[in-house]
Structure 1
């Protein structure tokens, strides 16, 4: 039988500073608040588990002004709980104690507790990324901005050896965005460079099909969330008639009707963001349901610090991904936590550098 403990929980807030104005269809981000959860046991203060709760403005169900207070209240209650120290019990207990309406808190707690169970080494479970230093292929993300800024990013990513480029669209003139895609495709075929686009729901249902047809001319691998979430009849029609594969993203957030959503919309792919979906357990359920239906998936970070990015990378690695994942956000911030995570030639790997102490 597994040992059981009462843990001590504490919280550290950090405001991450972007290196540039990070443009999305929902606005421009300059800073990013994250909350690091620390787990210790009174009899062994040297063994520390770290997790990250990082609700994303405009997307996370738990993005709210009093989020720090909400976390603190939950941590006080959870400190009174008795925890068994096997992974399945921990995941199930977090699932039972923290509502799905607080997905980033669930993920942060899962991280911190599993890290402690595994010895406080920022390893959460068996996975080749950490255990064997096996790299994961990732896409190079092109942020929104004016044409020159986006072109500069494209050239940089191609020069760095990325063979999968993901471009956010929906902010500048659509013809200019098509021209940027054609710029890439005229240099590299679809067998040389994979092209993904992310509309973040920017298209209206009336215009979406016409825009999908124009995008398809450039051998696009997939488009994320062409119309905003919640328009299920329109999205089902698009998924059924689309000339290029559709990947659902925001559509998955906040729903507890996974099977109904997948069976109704029948997407070609889904995008998995553990911070927004509710952590390891929820994400693994999405993967199982998608694979049962022949639906493709890949995992994406949601602008977490390196603590969260490390956890998502390990989760992706544990499922042996064959296609590029969306895990290239570690270099976005001036004041990210120093870590062993390295990005080189279109891959993320767990290197030999030491972790900076979050405290």
Structure 2
């Protein structure tokens, strides 16, 4: 395979979040395959008044020299594009997770004159905006190819932008960040009850992720003695709203809230402590949390939103709910708990494409992408 120099435009650590994690693993896999990723990172994604200390805020105050993009400052896009024009990599690969990134893709495509491929985590924002149609039109002039990570996104691209070549791949599982401790040890370390089945909701708390539906589902299962839920992640919505809901449902003794960003080295404790990871999403394409859970061998309980059902492989012990509702989620939890060996772990990474396979497929597609400046 021809070695490629790939300009990878994406958040990277010390920015945190799923996209930074994904791009870091992809860069490692491309490097291992003898390609040459060139990081074009972000120093900031959102203004401080929007972040309020959450989400994509950095883990540290220092940034590598290749982190000079500011998403809300188009002048930094231009400077980065002109730098790439001088460096002349073989192709530009841009991570895309929301509609407001379309103008950035357009600037890179036009100013670099290079082949530009967009890696679509999502085609549209999770919380849709009125200008999404305009952003899709801009994107149609900004890409020589698309890489999609789920069938639902691939279908949307095929419908909205049918003339642009695309490659559909599945989201690889993340390699475990550390060896799993024993379940009892993990629970004691986190201050959780050592006995009984434990469900995990992990990651950012946003409306589309359906934590309220999961709480309502838990309230529908009063006969399940010892069943508990731990919620670990940053809240995009007011925490008190969820505390009030938990109180009104009468499930205070069955829910443990651990608000705030979970450092990677600590996340292993949550996945070791739990019996299943629950993704009660109202809407979705794919999920990095599913890749984390599967990497640790944790079964999934998911709704049928988007392509989430495809994250549950046959024989994994996971369950797909029959509806994106509290009732559907409650039935799925019961099915999981009633299944023989339902709380047993599966082999790590079962049924998933590896990062090596993913990187090889990406490189082949990038090498075949048409010339830039269409």
What is the TM-score of this pair, normalised by structure 1?
Answer: 0.32
Normalized per residue, the structure richer in strand is 1
